[in-house]
Structure 1
Amino acid sequence: MSLSRTTREDSPKSWAIENSENLYRIEGWGQPYFSINAAGHVTVSPKGERGGSLDLFELVNALKLRNLGLPLLIRFSDILEDRIERLNACFAKAIARYNYPGAYKGVYPVKCNQQRHLLEDLVRFGKPHQFGLEAGSKPEMMIALALLDTPGALLICNGYKDREYIETAMLASRLGQTPLIVLEQIEEVQLCIEASRQLGIKPILGIRAKLSTQGVGRWGSSTGDRAKFGLTIPEIIQAVQELRDADLLGCLQLLHFHIGSQISAINVIKDAIQEASKIYVELAHLGADMKYLDVGGGLGVDYDGSQTNFYASKNYNMQNYANDIVAELKEACAEHNLPVPTLISESGRAIASHQSVLIFDVLGTSDVPSGAPEPPQEGESAIIRYLWETYQSINEENFQELYHDAAQFKEEAISRFNLGILRLTERARAERLYWACCEKILAITRKQEYVPDELEDLEKIMASIYYINLSVFQSAPDCWAIDQLFPIMPIHRLDEEPTRRAILADLTCDSDGKIDRFIDLRDVKSVLELHNLKPGEPYYLGMFLNGAYQEIMGNLHNLFGDTNAVHIQLTPKAYKIEHVVKGDTMTEVLGYVQYDSEDLIEQIRRLCEQALLDKRITIQESQRLLQNYEQSLSRYTYLSS
């Protein structure tokens, strides 16, 4: 027997928004930005507890009137600002609590979301805190150098480096920037020495250490001797000696480490900062002019709202994180009578995840047969009578045994059909009775605290398929690639009971283009509770906390392009639209794969002319075809609702 992952309580007689809050766990993952109002709509409070709120359903309808079709990515600039302020406030509070004589200067890792408008907002919002940027590649450094104009902010230069990368970073110091070049490979030491000699610039250098502390979750292997980036302890000693020989040891001022993204357990962070503190102290003893410690990324996001060490959650808050880092570093430096470093973190996921919401509509559904079946008719096969008797006999005492009987009868019906004994209509009746048995058994299991192992998948087997106007590969690639969980829920009708259980299937012609794993208190559930579709009315779903990594990692599977995106800022009266970024048209997407739209149109024109000569098409039909073809090329790659 195994514990069921789906809700087992009886449905209340009347449904209230509190039931939806519990079902979709919005108070767990959504605070302080997302909640449900009395109308049963999701609301957004971009400034958290300090400002007003917007009705998300009404906002989407208003944006659609502006010819912004779904799917639609809505970015809330105020949430981005609030996340930066909260992170800095937590470190400021920790610094005050532990009388830490140093400072905190955070940086945002550009790789997390490189969209221009977002980065411009981030630099602007970060200025009061001297918030900087982290580049993990040469192209990202190009962006950072051009955008970062905050006096005193840091530019952390990570990733693989060639001579040009290193020279550019060093020369940026002449522009008033503060670039810190982090040595990720031992070969980079000599590149930095040679560039320094040639340019006559003494850079600020850092070392990324491969810690022995093991991370947790999907990125747990980011640490250790075989980690992709960083220097082992012997390599660190070699780098120190090479810098000393070049009279550049004074340039070594930073220690950097990274133990993986989305760290769910606070004890891992504690162990890592303890180990890094010891390395920092030893580097100072070796003669390096240590001034900075970069704790990397890893600050988690509570995607399922459970506040546990589950991989899609975290068992600590932002203040716990800051406290542990500050306290450990102060203790380590005080023990050895060393000045404390300026603290740096690269908390991209925790900053960028909350600020965007992806809205998409449901196009249709596919359901297993439901409702009471008709009894067998005279002359029908005995197998149909057996299934009918099984259906009538199912109760809370025998449902497990009769589930196996129903499955066996169904397989026998298919076998008889393949042998030519059963007619197609009779096979259809047999399958209809089988699904009726499953429906009846499922209703019983939903009332059980424990469900037999062989019935655990029945909820998913019986689930409806809701077809959504979306490409998982473009807008939520981590769902497909690494089983990432994002909160998904309707943004309206939340004062109604959702009576359907569904999985989501996207527009792509790919069996992996689906979402069948959803957040749940106990772990992960295989279906999402949704409402019946109402004829002529839209049904909108929202995917939340997906502002980190998803946009840049999306791909063009089936040639579905970037979605429409809009930047919203709260105002005293309501809101204003800061930016509109139109999604890809078919012409733009086809250009990515080297097709010219004019050439395609000309080819269709020639085909139409030949069909006219052969009298296979009328001139009216050919013109209609050409018109539709040209119009389609200029339009959104997604479906119109």
Structure 2
Amino acid sequence: MMNYGIQFWSNDDFIIEDGKVKVNHRHQPALIDIVKKVREDGYRGPLLLRFPHLIQKQINQIFKNFNHAIKTYHYDASFRAVFPLKVNQFPNFVLPLVRYAQELDYGLEAGSKAELILAMAYTRLGAPITVNGFKDREMISLGFIAASMGHDITLTIEGLGELETIIEVSKVMGKPCPNIGLRIRLHSTGVGIWAKSGGINAKFGLTSTELLEAVKMLEKSNLLKKFTMIHFHIGSQISDISPLKKAIREAGNIYVELRKMGAKHLKGVNIGGGLAIEYTQHEGKQDRNYTLEEFAGDVIFALKEIAKDKKEPAPDIYIESGRFIAASHAVLVAPVLELFSQEYTEDALNLKEKNPPLIEELVDLYKSINERYAIEYLHDSLDHLESLLTLFDLGYIDLQDRSNTEILVHLIIKKVIRILKHKNHSDIIRIQKEVQERYLLNCSFFQSIPDFWGLGQNFPVMPLDRLNTRPTRSASLWDITCDSDGEITFNIKRPLFLHDIDVKKEEYFLGFFLVGAYQEVLGMRHNLFTHPTEFTIEFNDDGHQIENLQEAQTILDVLDDIDYNTKEIERNLRQRIEESILDEETRKEVLGQLYVMLSENGYLRTVFNGER
């Protein structure tokens, strides 16, 4: 059995049992069984499965670990948290999150007017709301409205111009005024893809000089008492704890210095997001070098020591870790449509009575392969392939010879893999680097995992079943877009092996895990593919049930969303069919087929066992 590194990335959320991936919760249903149940109801294409209990689990873990550190280090302040809506704004994520946060000091962070409206509508009164990003007068006015509703809201200032606007709005709208936070531009930086979030050249934050000026402006406008928080952020996925510890020390010292300057109502330090999750499937390739317990302990201890040394009260600690909360709750499931080498079978061979000598040698290699000489014969066949392709380019062999060459080499490859399947994977990797199988998936990587395409982010991927059978094919994954970037190529450093299956006879599904953070909100309509059909799995004492099932948008809905006149499209299509050379009966049939297609989503609909 190959476990696809589930012990590294799953956090015990999923397990392998009876050859299937199962949800490690209550009665532990198999993902493949859930998927097949939905497909029996006629839903095709990719599926997005949501597990709200994993949202609750992640929230509880953060609060448990920080509150434990507070107790351990006798920290005399509180822990609070907000979820940044930019990470996932979809209602089937946000509404469960809000429900699970009711009894905790957990609110929402907004970075736009629309997100702020969501935060105002769904955050429990008394729980924190923070507002980050650039703001105009209207957005700042929304903050005043939220304060008047009774919300504990903090507007985080990104520049002195925003602070000027707050001062102006306060003169017009009066009390209550929202709390004011200052984003500080640290010298400290993070590491990895998102390291540019921190550092002196970061997009957001006030320099030391601007901080001093901001305090003067607040004092002059009699708003210094509303200055309650400083904020920093050094990256979305902090892989190394050392930069965080350095940033905490820097921010902690800024905090105590501002208080000594007279900002006595400053009582909070917001350390932003960045709490990393583990994406790796391979030993020695970990994405973070710390645990949540260590993360919380380092933050609490560092701020306690700084406050103690400078004889200032310890600050309340805020965190905005969205990736940690959201990533694990969603799984993308994509059906495999085709294996591209499966047309290479013995039945496809069409050998001549007299074949070129190199092809005769390939036939002999194929028939005589054994374990002792398997690698040697494989290398010989690949050499013959290159020679025969050169001969074709020079005109010395014909297209039938070329076809026989390709078929024989693929047959040899599959036979070698079958013979050596009991060997260590390092041996198989060595021979398969250049001979991967291409698996065509019914999904769009641009729509469903855009961080793979845009940032090179790896997501754990594995079959949903057959896990008691060793996979033997080194795999490259292709999506159904017409873009060459829609491919996850075989990587010898992070190899993916899948099963050699006949998709005409059996279904095969791959699951992409930890896709619940950013992927949905960043997903694009490349080729006009839309959000997958999604549903929620809710657990109860009697088992589980499928809720909130939302089918992927139809083709007409997608076109309407990007402002096409769909009625005009329908009229044009109908008119052109009516004016076509088809007879009347055929025109009616074609028009009916066309309307059916327009009312379905744009993903491929495959025939399996005679059914659509």
Normalising by structure 2, we get a TM-score of: 0.90
Matches within 5 A, 1:68-467: 68-148=43-123, 150-201=124-175, 202-288=177-263, 289-304=265-280, 310=285, 313-367=287-341, 369=344, 379-384=354-359, 409-432=384-407, 434-435=409-410, 459-467=432-440
Equivalent pair of 2:182/2:229 in contact (CA under 8 Å): yes
**SS, match of residue 591 in structure 1:** helix
Q: How far does residue 378 in structure 1 lie from its aligned partner after superposition? A: 7.0
Equivalent residue number for residue 496 of structure 1: 469
Structure-2 separation of matches of 1:374 and 1:364 = 20
Equivalent pair of 1:307/1:316 in contact (CA under 8 Å): no
Q: How far does residue 125 in structure 1 lie from its aligned partner after superposition? A: 0.7
Is 1:625–2:590 an aligned residue pair?
yes
Q: How far does residue 587 in structure 1 lie from its aligned partner after superposition? A: 1.0
Structure-1 separation of matches of 2:505 and 2:373 = 42
Structure-1 separation of matches of 2:30 and 2:122 = 33
Is 1:634–2:596 an aligned residue pair?
no
Equivalent residue number for residue 610 of structure 2: none
Change (3 A) 1:198 1:534: closer
Structure-2 separation of matches of 1:370 and 1:265 = 49
Farther-moved stretch of structure 1 (288-297 vs 458-467):
458-467
Equivalent pair of 1:333/1:339 in contact (CA under 8 Å): yes
Equivalent residue number for residue 31 of structure 1: 11
Structure-2 separation of matches of 1:466 and 1:595 = 34
Q: How far does residue 330 in structure 1 lie from its aligned partner after superposition? A: 0.9
Q: Choose which of 453, 460, 463 in structure 2 pairs with 1:487.
A: 460
Q: Count residues with an aligned counterpart.
A: 602
Q: How far does residue 197 in structure 1 lie from its aligned partner after superposition? A: 2.1
Change (3 A) 1:619 1:457: farther
Equivalent pair of 1:597/1:633 in contact (CA under 8 Å): no
Q: How far does residue 170 in structure 1 lie from its aligned partner after superposition? A: 1.9
Change (3 A) 1:398 1:224: farther
Change (3 A) 1:305 1:342: farther
Is 1:474–2:447 an aligned residue pair?
yes
Equivalent pair of 2:473/2:500 in contact (CA under 8 Å): yes
Q: Choose which of 486, 491, 494 in structure 2 pairs with 1:524.
A: 494
Equivalent pair of 1:471/1:508 in contact (CA under 8 Å): yes
Q: How far does residue 601 in structure 1 lie from its aligned partner after superposition? A: 2.4
**SS, match of residue 322 in structure 1:** helix
Structure-1 separation of matches of 2:225 and 2:115 = 27
Q: How far does residue 217 in structure 1 lie from its aligned partner after superposition? A: 0.9
Equivalent residue number for residue 575 of structure 1: 544
Equivalent pair of 1:307/1:315 in contact (CA under 8 Å): no
Is 1:45–2:18 an aligned residue pair?
no
**SS, match of residue 132 in structure 1:** strand
Equivalent residue number for residue 15 of structure 1: none
Q: Which letter maps to 1:204?
A: N
Equivalent pair of 2:463/2:498 in contact (CA under 8 Å): no
- 1:96-155: CA deviations, max 9, x gaps? 11111111111000000001232121111111112110011222112111111x132110
Equivalent residue number for residue 609 of structure 2: none
Farther-moved stretch of structure 1 (359-368 vs 225-234):
359-368
Change (3 A) 1:236 1:399: farther
Equivalent pair of 1:255/1:280 in contact (CA under 8 Å): yes
Structure-1 separation of matches of 2:45 and 2:371 = 45
Q: How far does residue 461 in structure 1 lie from its aligned partner after superposition? A: 2.8
Equivalent residue number for residue 592 of structure 1: 561
Structure-2 separation of matches of 1:60 and 1:445 = 29
Q: Choose which of 65, 86, 99 in structure 1 pairs with 2:40.
A: 65
Structure-2 separation of matches of 1:390 and 1:498 = 24
Change (3 A) 1:374 1:627: closer
Structure-2 separation of matches of 1:472 and 1:566 = 19
Equivalent residue number for residue 513 of structure 1: 486
Extract unaligned runs of 5+ from structure 1: 1-18
Extract unaligned runs of 5+ from structure 2: 607-612
Normalising by structure 1, we get a TM-score of: 0.86
Q: Which letter maps to 1:483?
A: G
Equivalent pair of 1:590/1:597 in contact (CA under 8 Å): yes
Structure-2 separation of matches of 1:62 and 1:304 = 30
Percent identical among aligned pairs is: 34
